[in-house]
Amino acid sequence: MTFRAQHLLGIEPLHPTEITALLDLSDRYAEENRRGVRHKDVLAGLTQINMFFENSTRTQASFELAGKRLGADVMNMSMGQTSLKKGETLIDTALTLNAMHPDLLVVRHPNSGAVDLLAQKVNCAVLNAGDGRHEHPTQALLDALTIRRAKGRLHRLSIAICGDIAHSRVARSNITLLGKMENRIRLIAPPTLMPAGIAEFGCEVFDDMEKGLEGVDVVMMLRLQKERMDGGFIPSEREYFHRYGLDANKLKFAKPDAIVMHPGPMNRGVEIDGVIADDINRSVIQTQVEMGVAVRMAAMDLLARNLRERRVDNRPVLV
């Protein structure tokens, strides 16, 4: 096993072999989830706390389910309206939780870098469930797994990422991961939603969707993050859909067997036509959700193994 990290804070620090190791284990869990095999022993006796400083239904449910399938004691804390409102700092919240000796901490936070900051202050394993516009590593891993299962490989593919790239942590993690695995990445967005200097990451940049989609194997759509916008990035949703929404006409430019992905939740009729989203021959959006649970199981499994090893190494721990 080559995955040695203490935390899963982002894709950036991972080596390609670590990514492959994570995906291999995820693949196994995905198969066993389908067969209904349960692994109550893997995280038995461990406590998993989901701390969401930003609202989330899907990711939180996915992490919760993953933890429960592996036998962890899962606790959900929605932090939106609690201690931070009372003036407690993020670090104090982290120290308080740390004193309760959790084993796995799943954190989502609206500020870039906040999960890294929190991870510096705790002894347990921290999983980044999304920090600001920075990273969302489990999403990138589940996307990678979905692609690998659909295309049979995760290298030398031409992959288009379309939509609100500027505000998207999903895009950043995906660009990093797919780049590390040696794929061709094409970014398609109106210039107002394209981050500066992004071409230096080895991506091709397009503002014309039809040109950008030409001959790609994978079309990855992003959600228009209205809640992160401070106004005026696009003139209207209908113009956006006309120019950048994925419909049958634009999809024709991609390879005939190109798959369509979306991290959810979808704005139907804004970035993607409902017909495409529901087309079982093209859309793998439901598979992405399924792979999400498997990837999170694998990530927590590997982090828990490292955690146990570290604790053995550091004996005696008498606090």
Partner 1 sequence: MTDLVLANARLIDPVTLTDQIGGLRVRDGAIADVWIGAEGKRPKGVTVIDCGGMCLAPGIVDIGVKVSEPGERHKESFRSAGRAAAAGGITTIVTRPDTTPPIDTPEVLEFVARRAALDSPVRVLPMAALTKGRQGHEMTEIGFLLDAGAVAFTDCDRVVTNTKVLARALTYARGLNALVIGHVQEPGLSEGAVATKGKFASLRGLPDVSPMAERMGLDRDISLLEMTGARYHIDQITTARALPALERAKRNGLDITAGVSIHHLTLNEFDVADYRTFFKLTPPLRSEDDRIAVIEAVKSGLIDIICSMHTPQDEESKRLPYEEAASGAVGLETLLPAALRLVHAGQIDLPRLFRALSLNPSHRLGLASGRLMAGAPADLVLFDPDAPFVLDRATLKSKSKNTPFDGARMQGKVLGTWVAGVEVSGRI
Please state whether beta strands 125-131 and 158-162 pair in parallel, antiparallel, or not at all (unpaired): unpaired
Which member of 20, 76, 98, 111 binds partner 1 (CB under 8 A)?
111
The beta strand positions in the chain, using DSSP E, are 47-52, 73-78, 104-109, 125-131, 158-162, 184-188, 204-206, 218-221, 259-261
Interface with partner 1, residue 85, by CB under 8 A: no
Interface with partner 1, residue 6, by CB under 8 A: no
Q: Which residues contact 89 (CB under 8 A, 6 or more apart)?
A: none
HSE toward the beta carbon, residue 27, CA cutoff 13 A: 15
Please state whether beta strands 184-188 and 259-261 pair in parallel, antiparallel, or not at all (unpaired): unpaired
Q: Which of 7, 59, 133, 262 is catalytic?
A: 59
Which member of 69, 133, 180, 186 binds partner 1 (CB under 8 A)?
133
Q: Contacts with partner 1 in 279-318 (CB under 8 A)?
A: none
Q: Contacts with partner 1 in 157-196 (CB under 8 A)?
A: 169, 172, 195-196
C-alpha to C-alpha distances, 181 to 19, 99, 117, 141, 175, nearest whole angstrom: 9, 39, 28, 12, 10
Of 224 and 294, the one with the shorter C-beta distance to partner 1 is: 224
Of 138 and 146, the one with the shorter C-beta distance to partner 1 is: 138
Interface with partner 1, residue 114, by CB under 8 A: yes
Active site residue 153: no
Interface with partner 1, residue 5, by CB under 8 A: no
Interface with partner 1, residue 132, by CB under 8 A: yes
C-alpha to C-alpha distances, 289 to 32, 63, 265, 293, nearest whole angstrom: 16, 11, 11, 7
Which member of 5, 61, 117, 289 binds partner 1 (CB under 8 A)?
117
Tally of CB atoms within 10 A around 191? 9
Amino acid letter, residue 92:
D
Piece of 35-43, 61-69, 83-91, 138-146 that binds partner 1 (CB under 8 A) = 83-91
Of 106 and 115, the one with the shorter C-beta distance to partner 1 is: 115
Q: Which of 15, 58, 242, 308 is catalytic?
A: 58
Residue entry with tokens 């634009």: 250
Which member of 37, 96, 155, 201 binds partner 1 (CB under 8 A)?
201
Active site residue 86: yes
The beta strand positions in 120-269, using DSSP E, are 125-131, 158-162, 184-188, 204-206, 218-221, 259-261
Shortest distance, position 303 Cβ to partner 1, whole Å: 19
Q: Which of 7, 108, 169, 186 is catalytic?
A: 108
Distance from C-alpha of 129 to C-alpha of 122, rounded to nearest angstrom:
16
Shortest distance, position 190 Cβ to partner 1, whole Å: 16
Interface with partner 1, residue 129, by CB under 8 A: no
Distance from C-alpha of 252 to C-alpha of 109, rounded to nearest angstrom:
38
Distance from C-alpha of 235 to C-alpha of 124, rounded to nearest angstrom:
45
Of 115 and 254, the one with the shorter C-beta distance to partner 1 is: 115
Q: Which residues are catalytic?
A: 58-59, 86, 108, 136
Binding stretches for partner 1 (CB under 8 A): 89-91, 109, 111-114, 116-117, 131-135, 169, 172, 195-198, 200-201, 230
